[in-house]
Amino acid sequence: MASTDVKKWLTLTANVGVLLGLALVAYELRQNSDLMRIQINQSRADAAMMSNQQMFESAYIPQILIQIRDGNELSDEEMLRYVAWFRGTNRNQDNVLSQYFSGMLGEHTLRSIEDFARDAVDASDYSREAWRLTKIGYSDQYIQFVEDAISGNTGE
């Protein structure tokens, strides 16, 4: 009889230990998720600052963007520089969309990327040509998202 009571107590103690272990694992996972979100936000901020700094320090990109805005022609060299800048900017947006669909970013993210697609990707003949030349290098999900935003198929 005493042996049965001891086994019951040991089983109960083991079950409580398992539950406590599971609670600890859940707590650790939550902490890791929070830390990952913080790191992603910092990475995004760093990428945005670096992109802005490169543009501000560039002797070419601001002038190219002004020429496009004003409807002026670009030389072949300017178009190459613009396409390289455009590719990097879209690569960042592709990464942001991926982070959003992984649950790492808030709801405002989709609106931001839609606005970017309309305001930057579909802004001029040059941007549409740059999109045509570079879109093969982005994720299928991003390509579809941008194409939908440009065509107005985003559900808004």
Same domain, 48 and 85: no
Select, from the ranges 3-12, 14-23, 106-115, 138-147, the one with the highest average predicted confidence (pLDDT): 138-147
Distance CA 92, CA 87 (A): 9
pTM of the model: 0.67
Q: Comparing C-alpha atoms, which of 95, 3, 80 is closest to residue 41?
A: 95
Distance CA 138, CA 18 (A): 45
Residue 45 has what pLDDT?
62
| Total count of domains within the chain | 2
Same domain, 87 and 145: yes
Distance CA 84, CA 149 (A): 22
Neighbours of 45 (CB within 10 A): 10
What is the span of the domain harbouring residue 51?
Answer: 1-57
Same domain, 85 and 146: yes
Structure tokens at 124: 């001029």
Tokens 């993210």, located at residue: 109
Same domain, 43 and 106: no
Same domain, 28 and 80: no
